[in-house]
Structure 1
Amino acid sequence: MLPGSPSRDSQRQQRVQRRGTVGLYFVAALSVLAGMTDAIGFMATGDFVSFMSGNTTRLAVSLGSAELGPVLRLALVISAFVLGNALGVIVAARSGRRHWPLLGVIALLLAVAGMLPEPMQLLALLAAVTAMGMINAVVEEVNGLPIGLTYVTGALSRFGRGLGRTLLGQQRLGWRVQLVPWSGMFIGAVLGVLLEQRFERAALLASALTALLLAVVSWKIPRRWQLRYMPR
C-alpha cells in the first residue's frame, strides 16, 4: 500500500458514512412530504391521513358513542393505510426495490386525491391515506437504524430512550438521527397548513409534485444504496 493512501477499511467507512448522510437527507424530504400531506388532509377532511394512532383512538371513541357513520369512515381509513403499506412492499419488491416506481405511484394517488370533486371527498381521503401507507416502504432503515416516516411517536420514543442511556453514561450511537423524521414531519405540516389555507384540498397536488420530484431525485441515488434502505 502506498504511503498516505487510505486503507480499505477507511474507504469502506467513508462509503457507509456517505450512504447514511444521503439516506438521512432522503428521509427528511420524505418526512416533509408525509407531514405536508397529513396536515392538508386533516384540515380538508377532519381525518388524519398518516397518524393512525389518532384515528384508532377516534374509532374507539366513535364506537363507544355508537356513532355508526364515523366508525365506518375511520375503519375504512385505517384499512386503507394497512393496504397502502402492503402495496408499498409489493411495488418495491416487483420493481427490484427501486424508489422511483413506488414514489411514482404515490404521486399518482396524491394527484387523484387532489383533483377529485368535493362529493367524492371520502374517496380522495382514502387515496391519500393509501399513498401515505405506501411511503413507509420507500425507506425502512438507514445504516441499520430503523426509520419511521409517518409515525414519529416511535422516533421520539427512540430519541428519548437514547437520551436517557446517554445521561447514564452508556455509549449508544444513532439515537440523535431519530429527530430527522420528526423535524421533517413538523416542517412539512407547517407547509401543509399554509397550502391548505390557500388551495384547500387541491393543495394535495403540491404533495403529488413533491413525490414526483423525489422520484426523480431517487434516480441519482446509487442502486446498491437503495437496496440498503429497503431491506428484504
Structure 2
Amino acid sequence: MLPSATTHRATPGHLHTQKWRGRVGLTLVACLSVLAGMTDAIGFMASGDFVSFMSGNTTRLAVAISDGDLGLTLRLSILVATFVLGNALGVIVSRLSGRRALPLLLCIAALLCAAAAWPFEQQLPALLAAITAMGMLNACVEEVNGLPVGLTYVTGALSRFGRGLGRWLLGERRNGWRVQLVPWTGMFVGAVIGALLERHLGLQALFFSALLAGVLGVVALKIPRRWQLGYMPR
C-alpha cells in the first residue's frame, strides 16, 4: 500500500524542515515589520500622515469629509490609493522577478532613498514614494507555514492573537496564535527606532529605512528558494 500524504507530511525530516522554515520566516517577518514601523514613524512625525497605517488615514479621511475639508480629503484619498497601488505593484514586481525577495526589496530601498532625498518643502512626492514602498513591502511575505501575517499593519495580528488567547482560556490548544505578536513587536520596536532617528534627521531618516531594506534583500539570498516561494504571494 502506498503511504498516504498525511503520513508523508509527518515524517521527522519534513517536520524538522517545516520548523526551520517557520523560524526563518518569522525572523524575516520581524525584520520587515521593524522596517515598516521605522518608516511609518518617520513619515508620521515628519508630515503628520501615516505611511503604512492606512486604517488611521482612512479614519482621518472620514473626519475630513465630515468637516468639509476638501484639501485634506483629496490628500488623504491620494495617500490611501497610493498604498493600494503599491500593493499591486509589489505583486507585479514579485512575479516579474520570479518571486524573489531581493529585487522587490531593492525597489523598496530605491523608493525610500528617493523619499529621503526629496526637498522637505515638497513633502507629498516623498510621502507617495514612501507609501508605495510600504505597499510593495506586503508582497515580501504573505504567510509562514500557512499562517497569515501582515507586515505594515498589526490590527489583524492583535485580533488573531486575542482570539487565540480566548480559545486558549477556554481550554483549546491550537497552534500559531502566539506568533501573531511577532509582527506587532517588530513594528513597535521599529517605530521607536524611527521616532528617535526622525528627531535628529527629519525625513532624511528614511535613508536608514532604505539601508535596512537593502540589507534584508541581501540576507534573503540565504533563504532557500522553495521557502521564499512559500512565503510570498502566489
Q: Same fold (TM over 0.5)?
A: yes
Among 18, 21, 24, which residue is 2:23 paired with? 21
1:87-106 equivalences in 2 (<5 Å): 87-106=89-108
**Partner SS, residue 31 of structure 2:** helix
Q: Which amino acid in structure 1 is aligned with residue 46 of structure 2?
A: A
1:136 — aligned with what?
138
CA distance in 2, matches of 1:85, 1:46: 22
CA distance in 1, matches of 2:177, 2:120: 43
1:170-185 equivalences in 2 (<5 Å): 170-185=172-187
Deviation at 1:120, TM superposition (A): 2.0
Deviation by residue 1:107-131 (Cα, 9 ceiling, x = unmatched): 0000000000023210000100010
Deviation at 1:159, TM superposition (A): 0.1
1:43-192 equivalences in 2 (<5 Å): 43-192=45-194
**Partner SS, residue 122 of structure 2:** helix
CA distance in 2, matches of 1:26, 1:116: 29
| Identical residues among aligned pairs (%) | 67
CA distance in 2, matches of 1:193, 1:130: 20
1:38 — aligned with what?
40
Q: Which runs of 5+ in 1 are unaligned?
A: 1-7
Among 173, 195, 200, which residue is 2:197 paired with? 195
How many pairs does the alignment contain?
226
Q: Which amino acid in structure 1 is aligned with residue 213 of structure 2?
A: A
Deviation by residue 1:9-58 (Cα, 9 ceiling, x = unmatched): 10110000001000000000000000000000000000000000110000
Deviation at 1:68, TM superposition (A): 1.0
Among 195, 210, 213, which residue is 2:212 paired with? 210
Q: Which runs of 5+ in 2 are unaligned?
A: 1-9
Q: Which amino acid in structure 1 is aligned with residue 78 of structure 2?
A: L
1:224 — aligned with what?
226
Deviation at 1:151, TM superposition (A): 1.1
Deviation by residue 1:192-219 (Cα, 9 ceiling, x = unmatched): 0000000000000000000000000011
Moved over 4 A (4+): none
TM-score by length of 2: 0.95
Deviation at 1:231, TM superposition (A): 3.8
Q: Which amino acid in structure 2 is aligned with residue 84 of structure 1?
A: G
CA distance in 1, matches of 2:17, 2:204: 41
8 Å contact kept, 2:91–2:233: no
**Partner SS, residue 173 of structure 2:** coil
CA distance in 2, matches of 1:231, 1:118: 35
2:6 — aligned with what?
none
Deviation by residue 1:44-95 (Cα, 9 ceiling, x = unmatched): 0000000001100000100110111111110110011000000001111111
TM-score by length of 1: 0.96
